[in-house]
Amino acid sequence: MPLDRPALAKALAQTPGASAEGIDAPLSLLCRREAAQFQRAAQATGVQAEPLLVACTQESRLFTDLNAATEGSAPLDVRPIHFVNLRETGGWSRDAAQATPKLAALIAAAQLPDAEPVGTVSYHSAGRCLVIGPADAAERAAALLADRLQLSLLITQPGGTLAQQHNHAVHSGQLTGLSGHLGQFQASWASANPIDLDLCTRCNACVDACPEGAIDFSYQVDLALCKSHRDCVRVCEAAGAIDFQRTPVTTTEVFDLVLDLQAQPHFTQHQPPQGYIHAGSDERRLMAAVLDLRERVGEFEKPRFFQYRQSLCAHSRNQQTGCTACIDVCSARAIRSDATLKGKRTGKSRGPVPGTPALGAPAGQGGGVVVDPHLCVGCGACSTVCPSGAMSFAYPGTVDQGKRLRTLLTAYGKAGGRDAALLLHSEGAGTRLIDDLGRAARSDRRTGTAQGGLHGVPARVLPVALWHTASVGLDLWLAAKAQGASQVWVLLTDEEAPEYRAALAGQMAVANSVLAGLGYAGEHFRLIDVRDTRDLPALDAALRAAPAQGVARPATFAAQADKRGTLDLALDHLLAHAPTQADSIALPATGSPFGSLQVDTAACTLCLSCVGACPAGALADNPDKPQLRFIEKNCVQCGLCATTCPESAITLQPRLWLADGGKARKAARVLHEAEPFACVRCGKPFGTLRAIEGMLTKLAGHAAFQGAAAQRLKMCGDCRVIDIHTNPNEVKITDL
């Protein structure tokens, strides 16, 4: 691949935080045979804190081992080694000669320090494994696992053959419940078959005695064939394992691991709990499951991928439900509603597995959501769809991820690059697809098919590997656009759940609407759906799309930990450089984090229940007069005001209001006001004229509200108390 060392060194020298040391050294492209070059670099770095960067990911294992074996090199905990792929991501594309700005950007981003560590979630597995399925399949799996795990078999249907020896516990019945996670699964099953497998000695006498052949070597009675001769009971008298009068029994036990060999999986969500594997009758999946389960014994940890701030959550207030975005998108079912738990302690999960810790609303608050960190798989989709920023992805956090994107764009621009397109992809399947595209493009050129073959990753496309593609959303997309990106693309593979695809599509519809409304030409955000290597031509074509219009001057702001803060910074910059100055941009009805409210003033009584329900401080009253005020910038379109309003007078209006250069949406405006009603005793306003008159009309014919009692309805709370004590003889029971 072509490599312009002087240009690359110059580009890196202009990038803050990046180092060009060694770029212009007289050495060829790194390969296995040049391992000595790596050793000299490792020795020269010594025990200094500055990391060593190796522009090769294919041989990362080799160079890591070589560092440990090189005398004078520093261990990885003292001086880490970073790896970056320049070859498949740009060096092997058809326009590799123009890829110097991209290579500089990738190198600069690779030199960033690792994200700050976060708390961990722990699992403990002692190897107690439940195998569920037909007898033959369960026994075969048990033979492959018995030397490593403590097994229990649950035979779910008659047929097949059980081993003669009692090497492990065997149960029969139908699975009625399964919940939990690695190290803490709770399984329940109901057994109604006449043969108790725990008592059965497997002597085969019942098999020989049954005239209908209703008993086979799974040692279960097929009740559809049985004619009630009961010869089996007679021959099993000594063991007493057969009893047709046995009461159905439900058994519950706890396991660390579950291997499901049933045709249909018990867990139907896209991301089942860790420690549960469904193999069905697929031989290849069974072998993969066996290899996986054999390694699931001991202590395990994973990062706590999310942060949740209940004070910002727009899910519920006063047992009214608003936003459910995180619950709806979670493919692991790790998030559940806490809407009905106002005032109750929710620090522990109330799920079927006692003692499972979960993160939710603190004691005495309630009203948010509860996240089980053991079920969370770290996709980050909940943070992407959360309109308020109550849920955020923690590893890496928004600040770290935003810094990485900004570094890429800054280095690319300083090196002379134009029309940068960020390609966000997963570290797993996404990385493999990009590598396959680079290799296929190189192969096409070497075989002389360059004119009709694949181009590879273009020079203007900057690949960005993410733990999961759903972990980055609208705030960082718009921030990247403000910081100079021409486009932001998200590569979807077969790893993404349907919920993630729908959520990302909804977020991109909002983002594209914003840019189109501001007058920026072209398609700025796109989902590129490529399932496997057979779709490489489609990926190659998608990456060669025409650039979209960008900002005239890239922004320099840094992404904030607060999602709404990042969105405000990005919108302000995009608006300041917008080709068109629009007053209002209509946004999609689903997934918009921006918008206004429409109030039916004929129905609204200014009870202000919506003000108390608003979690974002978008709605407020006026202590001096009956008014409902609204700050549009704060509104997250959760709908709590609409569901709380007793008169159904509020309707959501998704939009981005940009009047007065965007200043109008940041100021409070009056949505509804009414004439105040003054206390007839002291003159202080304490309600609206319409509300008091309506109350007087409704109670006019009531016997309890006549005379002085009716007059007290026109008084404020203080005067009502004074009047009751001043005229005690006129007090009615209703006054008390």
Convert the pLDDT of each residue in 290-310 to its tens digit: 999 999 999 999 999 999 999
pLDDT digits (tens, 9 = 90+) for 329-386: 999 999 999 865 443 333 333 333 333 344 444 333 446 899 999 999 999 999 999 9
One domain for residues 558 and 609: no
Read off the DSSP letter of residue 534: G
Mean pLDDT of the 258-281 span: 95
| Residue 390 maps to a domain | no
We report the CATH number of the domain holding residue 649 as 3.30.70.3270
Residue 57, in any domain of the structure: no
Count: domains in the chain: 4
Top pLDDT among 513 and 692 is at 513
Residues 28-84 pLDDT 10s: 566 777 788 888 888 876 556 677 888 888 888 999 999 899 888 888 888 888 899
The pLDDT confidence band at residue 18, using thresholds 50, 70 and 90, is low
Q: Specify whether 531 is located in the same domain as 602.
A: no
CATH of the domain at 221: 3.50.50
Two tokens, residue 27: 């050495």
**pLDDT at residue 624 in the model:** 81
User: What per-residue confidence (pLDDT) applies to 466?
Assistant: 95
What's the CA angle centered on 668, arms 663 and 671, to 5 degrees? 120
- Distances, alpha carbon 397 to alpha carbons 110, 267, 306, in Å: 17, 30, 9
For residue 242, what is the DSSP state? B
User: Taking the CA of residue 15 as centre, how many other CA atoms within 13 Å lie in the half-sphere pointing to its CB?
Assistant: 35
Q: Are 421 and 481 members of one domain?
A: yes
Q: Model confidence over 213-251: pLDDT tens digits?
A: 999 898 888 888 998 889 999 999 888 899 898 888 899
Range of the domain at 692: 678-735
520 within a domain of the structure (yes/no) = yes
Domain check: are 567 and 431 in the same one? yes
Residue 59 lies in a domain: no
Residues 97 and 152 in one domain: no
Q: Are residues 668 and 695 in the same domain?
A: no
Residue 93 maps to a domain: yes
Looking at the domain assignment, is residue 347 inside a domain? no
> Within this chain, do residues 561 and 616 fall inside the same structural domain, yes or no?
no
User: Which residue, 301, 317, 348, sits at the end of a domain?
Assistant: 301
What tens digit of pLDDT does each residue of 392-430 get?
999 899 999 999 999 999 999 999 999 999 999 999 999
CA distance 377 to 271: 8
**Residue 49 belongs to a domain:** no
Is residue 237 exposed (0-12), middle (13-18) or buried (19+ Cβ within 10 Å)? Answer: exposed
Same domain, 414 and 560: yes
Domain identity same for 139 and 156: yes
Residue 108 and residue 127 share a domain: no
Residue 13 domain flag: yes
Does the pLDDT at position 97 exceed 70? yes
Per-residue confidence band for 717, with pLDDT thresholds at 50, 70 and 90 = confident
Provide the pairing of β-strand 487-492 with 525-529: parallel
Residues 545 and 662 in one domain: no
Q: Which of 673, 703, 724 is the last residue of a domain?
A: 673
- Does 665 share its domain with 693? no
> Would you place residue 609 in the very low, low, confident or very high pLDDT band (cuts 50, 70, 90)?
very high
Q: What is the pTM of this model?
A: 0.86
Final residue belonging to a domain, choices 233, 268, 301:
301
